[in-house]
Homo-oligomer: A and B are copies of this chain.
Amino acid sequence: MASVPVNELKQHIGKQVELRGWLYNRRGSGKLLFLQFRDGTGLVQVVVGKADVPEPVFETARRIGNESSIIITGLVKEDTRSSLGVEVQASDLHVIQEVHDYPIQITEDVPNIDKLLDQRHLWVRSRRPHAILRVRSEVIQAIRDFYYNKGYVLFDAPMFTPASCEGTSTLFEVPYFDSTAYLSQSGQLYGEAGAMAFGKVVVFGPTFRAEKSKTRRHLTEFWMVEPEVAFLELDGVMDLAEEQVRYVVGRALERCKEDLKVLQRDTTLLEQVARPFPRVSYDDVQVLLQKLKAEYAASSDPELQKLAKDILKGGLGDDLGAADETAIGLHFKQCVMIHRYPRHVKAFYMKKDPQNAERALCVDVIAPEGVGEIIGGSQREDSLEELLSQIEKHKIPMESINWFVDLRRYGSVPHGGFGMGVERCVQWITGCQHVRETIPFPRTIYRLNP
């Protein structure tokens, strides 16, 4: 008998099947045992009746501990109470490995994330991480499909880079034979070389930041997708970001229904991505934030009062803080695109707004529900003179950036792109508190194991 995966059982109602996998949990009593059986594709209830199996099989089913590896033979029966639509009536059970001391309790799925992360290699079997990581897998394939179907060429940027262009405080240094390499913080500069060669490229790989702060929003190692397009100006960058977010969230909503249900995710606000994303200038957002600050301060909700205190903490003309982004999300209840930030808070390669030399032709996409920035992008500075002056101003060593400047010497054209952190996006879609839950083996300042 060929074995059947749990997620295909519905096609075998009325038939005898073999199931191969693990005991997830068990309840029941003297005469009837209910095994929750998992094989990685889903969970199904297996009923073991004392009258239906030989005595030693019933004893085994009663004795074995969670995560014992087992092979079950049984009859697939329709069961409308189950989300799967079926249950299995066991006629035999064979143990591959009997387990009695599995270190993770089924009930402790959320409470102590640090303790569970110590057992991450086992914890990924539990329902919650299982669901989150299935969403991650879908999100990444959705991103890859989105760009592939639009004719983008995948253009992998190197992990080892000769020097940093954006400050060295969060750089990982690697002894590289007789020299030193730095782990990439972004593939964008390389992506720009790709855009000049292929027109439309997407860089997608791990990036590294030596984040010393331990927050629920930071990892030292995370995946970033970075499209870069020749002849794409700021409005086009915003169109692309909106279309990509809508496609990715749409795919997750459509294909990860069961996983989002396991996570008890209220998808009301996620479904709003189908509506146009408001596009608000940084200057208009400052006005709005002042209004929201006053409004929340006067509110009777203590959480809003607390938030009000932190709004515009950085002061006018500064970058937006977490509280500002939270307030914007609360107000719009939808993804918002904030464009034209002050140049001095943004990267050297962003193009100067021709209407206002103090502003950059850039955009951040802010997700609601307290998630904050998920995308940062811009039109790039395509003027050789302007770029050189920015490089000087930011004190970037010319020998490390000269190749990049070549892109403005040999056929410079207007172009733009953005970067989206995959984990932040998955965090938003799954409603996780901690970004650490959105990657199989999270790395932070305090965590390099397992």
Interface residues of A (CB under 8 A from B): 3, 5, 7, 20-23, 39-41, 67-69, 96-97, 99, 102-103, 120-122, 124-125, 130, 133-134, 136-137, 140-141, 144, 148, 151, 153-162, 172-177, 179, 181, 183, 190, 193-200, 205-206, 208, 210, 212, 220-221, 223, 230-231, 403-404, 406-407, 409-413, 439-441, 443, 445, 448-450
Contact = CB atoms under 8 A, between A and B. Distances in A.
B440 A190 contact: yes
Complex A-B, nearest 5 residue pairs according to Cβ-Cβ distance, in ascending order: A40-B199, A403-B450, A121-B193, A69-B411, A137-B154
A440 B409 CA distance: 20
Given A403-B121, A413-B96, A21 B130 contact: no
Nearest to A196: B125
Contacts of A194: 124, 440
A124 to B, nearest CB: 4
Contacts of A223: 156
Nearest to A199: B40
A284 to B, nearest CB: 30
Given A158-B443, A197-B124, A181 B413 contact: no
A144 B230 CA distance: 26
B154 A136 contact: yes
Contact of A173 (B175, B198, B449): B175
Most buried by B among A67, A196, A221, A407: A196
A402 to B, nearest CB: 8
8 contacts: A68-B411, A96-B412, A102-B411, A156-B206, A159-B221, A160-B220, A190-B441, A193-B440
B121 A140 contact: no
A20 B156 CA distance: 25
B172 A130 contact: no
A63 to B, nearest CB: 15
Contacts of A448: 160-162, 176, 179, 181
Contacts of A175: 172-173
A324 to B, nearest CB: 30
Contacts of A174: 172-174, 183
Contacts of A198: 40-41, 124, 130, 133-134
Nearest to A190: B441
Given A197-B124, A220-B160, A411 B154 contact: no
A406 B407 CA distance: 51
Contacts of A406: 121-122
A130 B195 CA distance: 12
Given A125-B196, A210-B177, A413 B69 contact: yes
Contacts of A409: 99
A97 B206 CA distance: 34
Nearest to A140: B154
Nearest to A118: B403
A53 to B, nearest CB: 21
Contact of A221 (B5, B160, B197, B443): B160
Nearest to A104: B410
A385 B136 CA distance: 35
Nearest to A154: B137
A411 B130 contact: no
Contact of A121 (B41, B124, B221, B407): B407
Given A137-B153, A173-B175, A208-B159, A122 B410 contact: yes
Contacts of A404: 121, 450
Given A67-B410, A160-B443, 17 more contacts: A40-B200, A99-B411, A102-B410, A122-B410, A124-B194, A124-B198, A130-B198, A134-B198, A140-B154, A141-B148, A156-B206, A156-B439, A159-B159, A162-B450, A177-B210, A205-B206, A403-B449
